[in-house]
């Protein structure tokens, strides 16, 4: 399980972009190193699911790390939603395809959705200088 958590920590760095840091986001929107806590893994027939909670820009966010049962170190995918209020993905055909290929899969509830707290992220707007 330590390998799963190590892979997830690497994924959290990638996840920082989900909390801000886009080309039009203000400098204060970035979340470079969110602290994370891991819940008790639930073991299923072909994978395990680990609840994850982390804080980004003052918002308590929640997600699930899906990991293959076999092996200890896996590459990982961090699922980033499109715009709007979106919940995390559940285990289904998309997640199962990654698990079958030996890849961890992390998905989280966006702000104000599911177990994630705080209001939905503000819509950042680009300012035109032309």
**Cβ contact 73:26 at 8 Å:** no
Q: Helices (H) and strands (E) in the chain — how many of each?
A: 2, 6
Q: Is 58 exposed, middle or buried (0-12, 13-18, 19+ CB in 10 A)?
A: exposed
pLDDT digit string (tens) for 34-81?
Answer: 889 999 999 999 999 999 999 887 888 899 999 999 888 899 999 888
pLDDT score recorded for residue 28: 64
Lowest mean pLDDT among 1-15, 92-106, 116-130: 1-15
User: Where are the chain's structural domains?
Assistant: 2-108
* Predicted TM-score of the model (pTM): 0.70
pLDDT digit string (tens) for 5-37?
Answer: 544 444 443 443 444 444 455 666 667 778 899
């Amino acid at each position: 399980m330590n390998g799963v958590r190590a892979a997830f920590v690497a994924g959290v760095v990638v996840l920082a972009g989900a909390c801000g840091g886009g080309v039009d986001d203000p400098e204060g929107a970035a979340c470079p190193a969110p602290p994370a806590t891991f819940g008790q893994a639930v073991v299923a027939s072909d994978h395990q699911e680990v609840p994850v909670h982390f804080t980004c820009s003052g918002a308590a966010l929640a997600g699930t790390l899906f990991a293959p049962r076999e092996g200890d170190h896996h590459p990982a995918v961090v699922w980033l939603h499109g715009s709007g209020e979106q919940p995390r993905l559940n285990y289904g055909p998309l997640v199962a395809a990654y698990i079958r290929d030996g890849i961890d899969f992390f998905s989280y509830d966006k702000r104000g959705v599911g177990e994630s707290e705080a209001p939905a992220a503000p819509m950042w707007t680009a300012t035109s200088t032309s």
